[in-house]
Structure 1
Amino acid sequence: MRADKARNRDAVLAAAGRLFAEATDPDQVSMDAVAAAAGVGKGTVFRGFGDRHGLIRELYDDYATREFRTLPDNVLDVLTRTWDFKRTHRVLTLALEREGFTSPYRNDSYDRLHAHLTELVTRARGPRNAGFLAHALLAAVRSDLVEYLRERPGVDPREGLRDLVVSILGPESAYQGRGDENPR
């Protein structure tokens, strides 16, 4: 990659990251705004990422790759970390989930989390329906749910995730690999 192209790519991703972090709604971040914030022309953004979908996906994948470079060996910790990631990057992850063909099910980080959870579920209860259960567990940390529950009084996502994992894997398996005792 040419040096100026790499510099522009980095500037666009950094600008998009700032804009998504400051926004309250995904629709507030336009390609025009990203180009202006990055100090490049709109054509540079489109050539580098194709369209808004491509930019959102690239930024999300960049953040997710760093966050999930190593994965916990425990289902509850994977889900809690995913929940926290989606709270931190709430507007960006909402944008990804709203983008139709670039759904959260069609990206490398989802595939990696799903494969890891499938392995953990298989270890805990065998291979029967492990892939489906991994998808169901990941559905509990979808950005739209994280957003919906964000301001709800009396909702403790960590407790809810723990109860979900316990109901699927049993009390011992939910904490397996953590190095601590079951707090229940």
Structure 2
Amino acid sequence: MPPNVSGPQSACATPPAELLELRATPPRERADAARNRVAVLEAAAVLFRERGVDGVSMDAVAAAAGVGKGTLFRRFGDRAGLATALLDEQERGLQEAILFGPAPLGPGAAGQSPPAGDRLRAFLDAYLDYLLAHLDLVRVSETATSGARYRIGAYRFWHRHVSLLLAGRPDPAAAAHTLLAALGAEHVTAVRAEIGAERLRTATRQLADALLP
């Protein structure tokens, strides 16, 4: 177990402005557009749960939501866009906990920010909980096109948060990418089938400990 690290951290009494800028925010939209969005996402959530993400067509979502296919495609593009939209609320909740929540995931009380190592392990546990609960959706959102995962706004938030927690390393940005690679949905889907979720969680914690300054 590495020693506790009390150097630069991504949460304190005032969260870093760069993380505040990267966090997901709810869309601003007209009332009718908001109603359509809610109807589509509710229908998609039901269909994905019943049939699996790969077994649901955009036509089926449009029919279940009672909206035109053109409306659906213009708003969400494809199943990956739908998956990303469904995940937004969950991602916002995790980001808010990181920025403002109790320690060790969040900064805790003013002047009592926990060590970076504790925060990093708490993030990994919370992220894995989120990922395993929504694995199919995350996989679709991350693999829609080559490199899609790294263009998602949430990834930039996770990467910057982990980079700040690893700030004592010579190249924390590269180390953060290395750690987050172990949390890719496609990787986790394959590895969990072989070794199980708990062994995966343990191995990810061990990797984090090895990367801490």
Q: TM-score range by the shorter chain?
A: 0.7 to 0.9
1:149 maps to 191
Q: 1:117 touches 1:134 (CA, 8 Å); kept in 2?
A: yes
* 1:121/1:134 contact within 8 Å kept: yes
Q: Which amino acid aligns with 1:3?
A: A
Specify the alignment match of 2:114 in structure 1. none
- Distance in 2 (alpha carbons) for counterparts of 1:44 and 1:152: 41
Asked if 1:110 corresponds to 2:167, the answer is: no
Q: Which has the higher contact order (CA 8 A, sep 6+)?
A: 2
Q: Distance in 1 between matches of 2:93 and 2:50?
A: 20
Partner of 1:93 in structure 2?
Answer: 138
- Give yes or no for the alignment of 1:12 onto 2:53: no
SS of alignment partner, residue 105 of structure 1: helix
C-alpha distance in structure 1 between counterparts of 2:122 and 2:156, whole Å = 17
Partner of 2:211: 168
Misfit runs of 4+, over 6 Å: none
C-alpha offsets along residues 85-136 of structure 1, whole Å, 9 cap, x if unaligned? 11111111111122015711112211111111000000xx34x210010111
Give 1:19's aligned amino acid: L
Of stretches 43-52 and 91-100 in structure 1, the one that deviates more from structure 2 is 43-52
RMSD across aligned positions (CA): 2.1
1:27 alignment counterpart: 54
| Residues paired across the two proteins, number | 166
Q: For 1:135-159, what per-residue CA distance to the aligned partner results, in whole angstroms no more than 9, with x for missing partners?
A: 1111111101221122324661221
1:150 alignment partner, SS class? helix
Q: Secondary structure at the match of 2:194?
A: coil
Aligned-residue sequence identity (percent) comes to 40
Distance in 2 (CA, whole Å) between partners of 1:46 and 1:60 is 18
Q: TM-score, normalised by structure 2?
A: 0.69
Flag structure 1 segments of 5+ consecutive residues without an equivalent: 171-184
- Partner Cα separation in structure 1 for residue 171 and residue 91 of structure 2: 26
Structure 2: distance between partners of 1:17 and 1:105: 24
**Aligned match of 2:201:** 158
Q: Taking structure 1 as reference, are residues 15 and 101 closer, same or farther at Cα in structure 2, changes over 3 Å only?
A: farther
- Structure 1: which amino acid aligns with 2:49? A
**What is the alpha-carbon distance in structure 2 between the residues aligned to residue 13 and residue 101 of structure 1?**
25
Q: 2:23 corresponds to which residue?
A: none
